[in-house]
Amino acid sequence: MRLLLWTAALAALVACAAKTAREDSVPAAPAAPIVTPAEPADPPAPAPAAAAPHAAIGDFGVDLAAGDHGVRPGDDFFAYANGKWYESFVIPADHSSFGPFNELEEISTEHVRSIIEAAAAAHPASGTPEQQIERAMSRDHLTREETLARMSRQMSLEEKVKFADYVIDTSGAKERTLAQTRVVYETLRSLSL
């Protein structure tokens, strides 16, 4: 059994260490192109390829420049591998720790904020007829034309307010709507007692 194990290990070692034969290609002498006056000139050379995208948070892998190579690895391996980085890196004052994941979180938060702000800017102002149209389209899954046709058959908002005993304005924040609803509820409740 031992002999079989040693033979297999030796075979693996020989296979890994064996150099493969390398075939060097010999470039052929280029033939001179035959150009006649009737043939067009060669097309322009293609533009150089764009450089590969660079990582957003620096290079990946081992940063050999981060180490302090004045320290022997056997004396203090941490200083040897990270010494220059450790001396120069400053954790931001508003963080207890900071690293690539924190940086990714900040980048992602900024991207999400810009998306939300762009979406908010694209929506009509609160309380406008355009907002009413958008809400109805979203709620009832109607096209703009269907929504406008439905709204044209209804009383205007101003006419509805004239007939109402209580009005709750839902064009603002939810908290404001809830506060108005509580006031109306309490008023109606006190009337029923």
Is there a single domain that holds both residue 106 and residue 147?
no
Is there a single domain that holds both residue 98 and residue 134?
no
**Residue 30 lies inside a defined structural domain of this protein:** no
Instruction: Quote the number of domains for the chain.
Output: 3
Q: For residue 141, give its domain range.
A: 128-154
Q: What is the pLDDT of residue 144?
A: 93
More confident residue, 51 or 171: 171
Helix and strand numbers (H, E) in the chain are: 7, 0
Is there a single domain that holds both residue 107 and residue 89?
yes
Torsion 183-186-188-190 (CA) sign: negative
Torsion 106-112-115-119 (CA) sign: negative
Q: Are 68 and 79 in contact (CB under 8 A)?
A: yes
**Tens digit of each residue's pLDDT (9 = 90 or more) over 39-87:** 555 666 666 666 666 666 666 677 788 899 999 999 999 999 999 989 9
Is there a single domain that holds both residue 164 and residue 184?
yes
For residue 57, give both structure tokens: 């948070």
pTM above threshold 0.85? no
**Residue 52 lies inside a defined structural domain of this protein:** no
**Tens digit of each residue's pLDDT (9 = 90 or more) over 6-15:** 777 767 666 6
For residue 35, give both structure tokens: 């150009």
**Residue 42 lies inside a defined structural domain of this protein:** no
